[in-house]
Amino acid sequence: MGSSGSTPATVSPEFRAVFRAHADADVAMSFDRFMALALYDPQVGYYRRNRVRVGQGPGTDFFTAASGGPLFGELVSTACVHRLRAAGRDPAAHTWVEIGAEPDTGGVLAGVTHPFREVRVLRVGEPIGLGGDCVVFSNELFDAQPCVRHVVRDGRWRELGVALRDDRLVEFELDADAVRAPAVRAPEGYHFDQPLAAAALADEIAAQDWRGLFIAFDYGKTLHQLITETPGGTARAYYRHTQSNDLLARPGEQDLTCHVCWDWIADALTRHGFGRPELDFQESFFIHQAGELIAHISAAEAARSSPRKRALMQLLHAGHLGQKFQVLHAVR
């Protein structure tokens, strides 16, 4: 086991105990296992803590499209209705299922008038059981799944792991597993953070016996982009609205994310009988699928700078969230 030379990260006694309980004989584990503990462990996981993470208030770490109030939900609902009707489906026959909603919210449709038969909101850790006619919606679900980290050393892939040394976390390199090693070539020193768990989650969702619309708002790249345009990898940490590359700092207290591979999620949908998945920037998706609502809001708020108008601009403007996020959608 060789160290990568990363700076040791201080870790709480509670996380140290959980880490040791899941580590191997060398008190080490793969990065994706560490990320799973740091985010989802029932005792110390970031997403299992009873605290407000999303928003712009004190103590929050990041904000999402849903942070600006119910407008995001209105646009999403309108767009999904338009998408279903274009596919010859009756929205009123569909159950809305939101996966991965924050515990302190009622989901994206809270307070929003909608035509769906019923609304189900699944929190982190709740089983995903789907059946019948559904709209399966997620917002920044897939980027929060554990990733497998690799780097090219001496012309071959090496996997990155995490070890506990003198009560501190350090990164190390180990021989890449033949099954998990990337099946692509990259130059020396190139990092590839493989979002394998995100692809597996998409496959789990698509494999279940349901019909309707799959729609995921997230940020990601194609496989070609991931292996040619991101030499430092895409895994990032967020703490108090500050992005960092220090992935081992404050485990359980900071968010960890990784860009999804849209090709892999689209492949999972196609493999299970969905029609051709479409990928749009959030801006163009809303304009094409919820254009009438956008026009109505723009006309009603034209003469003033209201919170609703500012929220709309934030969701659509390319410099804000309009092109930061993308939308993958497909119908079966």
- Contact predicate 149/159, CB 8 Å: yes
The whole-angstrom separation of Cα 102 and Cα 39 is: 13
Residue matched to tokens 């982009």: 225
Look up residue 184 and give its two tokens.
């692509």
What the block records as the tokens of 194 is: 């493989």
Domain of 120 in residue numbering reads as: 2-331
Per-residue tokens: 288: 């094409």
Contacts of 309 (CB under 8 A, 6+ apart): 297, 298, 301
So what's the pLDDT on residue 310?
83
What gap in Å lies between CA 252 and CA 242, rounded to an integer?
16
Torsion-angle region of 233 (φ positive above 0: left; ψ -120 to 50: alpha; else: beta): left
- Whether the CB-CB separation of 314 and 321 falls below 8 Å is answered with yes
Instruction: Decide if 63 contacts 56 (C-beta within 8 A).
Output: yes
Spell out a b/e string for 123-142, using b for 16 or more CB atoms within 10 Å of the CB, else e.
ebeeeeebeebbbbbbbbbb
Whole-angstrom CA distances from 297 to 83, 284, 312 are 20, 17, 8
pLDDT at 62: 55
Secondary structure element (H or E) that encloses residue 221, with its range: strand 220-221
Element (H, E) at 168: strand 168-175
Number of domains in the chain: 1
Tokens found for residue 224: 């070609």
HSE value, Cβ hemisphere, 13 Å, CA-based, for 125: 14
Query: What's the pLDDT at 44?
Result: 94
Report the DSSP beta bridge partners of residue 223.
none
Task: Provide the 3-class DSSP secondary structure of residue 129.
Answer: coil
DSSP 8-class letter at 124: T
What CATH number did the domain enclosing 247 receive?
Answer: 3.40.50.12710
What is the mean pLDDT for each group of 10 consecutive residues in the chain (332 residues)? 51 95 96 97 88 63 61 96 98 97 80 96 90 97 97 96 94 89 94 97 98 97 97 93 90 94 98 98 95 90 78 77 85 98
Q: Which amino acid is at 98?
A: E
Give CA–CA dist 85/96, Å, rounded.
Answer: 15
* Residue carrying the six token digits 């350090």: 170
pLDDT at 5: 43
Which 3 state secondary structure label does DSSP give 179?
A: coil
Largest CA distance in the chain: 67
